[in-house]
Structure 1
Amino acid sequence: MKKSLLGTLLLAASLSAGTLGFESGVIKAHTEVFGDSSIDPMFKKAHSKLSMDAEPSTLRGVIEVSIGDFISDNKKRDANMYEAMESDKFPKASFEIKEVVAKGGDNYLLKGTMNLHGVVKAMNFEGTVAEEGGKVRIKAKSAMKMSDFGIQPPKMVFLVVRDQVDLNVDVVLKR
């Protein structure tokens, strides 16, 4: 009885040893209004269900954000952004990491799927994954088109928001 209890506790401890929780960081999106200005909203909060053993190539799981936490420097623009993204119907977005491919040094390709606006599409991020002192830092970039996820780029009179959105991730996860 004691041996099976000890075995169960050790197994449970080894399964949770690789769990990573969001500690800090930002996920930035960049697009532009043609003929006007840049739009750079960001998330400063996220929820992670990620795990990683000793090597970054073992990183797997999901990082999720609430669309209502997506903010820029302009509240009126944010309201338009929430409307375009139909945040009342699709309040969350997530990226599931399914495979991590080493590219040399701390450089990796994070392959996975983006779930945004009710659409799930394959997507990759390229960047670095580094661990130091029980914390894992991911700095990665990717690009997407809003229209690929069923989001109509907003228009305001003669101004049109660029369809492409450049994504920059810089997050710190703790074990």
Structure 2
Amino acid sequence: MKKIVSLAAVLLAASAFAGNLTFESGSIRAHTEVFGDSSIDPVFKKAVSHLSMEDSVTSLRGVIDVNIVDFTSDNKKRDANMYETMESDKFPKASFEIKEVLSKGGENVTLKGMMSLHGVTKAMNFEGSVSEEGSKVRIKAKSTMKMSDFGINPPKMVFLTVRDQVDLSVDMALKR
């Protein structure tokens, strides 16, 4: 019985030390273009964090979730088309699971993980920084992806086609 109580105490202490991180503020931006027309720059300003971090940024692990319908641009009609293209009724969420953080010196890191979008999960890396600012952790990172890699056909309108590549930029503050 003593071993069970001791084990429970160790696990409880470890989970308290691990430090769950909750989304406080920030954004996840996407950038693509309509060939021959303009830029499309939708943004998520809401996210749900299921992240934890122990004593160093390389211990950062967990998942960041977003709801597709929280992805907005400067054009509501375009947003409605984007939700339809991404089949947000069937695939309402996108997530990135951080599996490993590789230090590149200082605050510079590679976030290695798995992106789940539109019913497809693929390995993906983000390059950037993770820093601690008091009781906050700040993530600033960038990556690129192709919509077609996730089974999403880039929209076409008459002679205009949306570029398949999407540039992603994350800037978020998490609190312990």
TM tier, smaller? over 0.9
- Paired residue for 2:155? 154
CA RMSD of aligned residues (A): 1.7
Distance 2:81 2:93 in 1: 17
**Aligned partner letter, 2:108:** N
Q: Displacement of 1:68 after TM fit?
A: 0.6
Any idea what the Cα deviations from partners look like across 1:39-74, whole Å, max 9, x if unmatched?
A: 000100000100001100000000000001000000
Number of matched pairs = 175
**Aligned partner letter, 2:85:** A
Q: Aligned ranges for residues 1-175 of structure 1 at < 5 Å? A: 8=8, 11-17=11-17, 18-175=19-176
Q: Which 4+ residue blocks in structure 1 deviate beyond 3 angstroms?
A: 4-11
Any idea what the Cα deviations from partners look like across 1:108-143, whole Å, max 9, x if unmatched?
A: 000000000000000000000000111000000000
Structure 2 unaligned segments of length 5 or more: list them.
none
Q: Displacement of 1:100 after TM fit?
A: 0.5
- Matched residue SS, 1:86: coil
**Aligned partner letter, 1:105:** G
Distance 1:30 1:144 in 2: 10
Identity among equivalent positions (%) equals: 73
**Aligned partner letter, 2:58:** S
- Matched residue SS, 1:104: coil
Distance 1:9 1:174 in 2: 25
What TM-score do you get using the length of structure 1 for normalisation?
0.95
Structure 1 unaligned segments of length 5 or more: list them.
none
Distance 1:113 1:62 in 2: 9
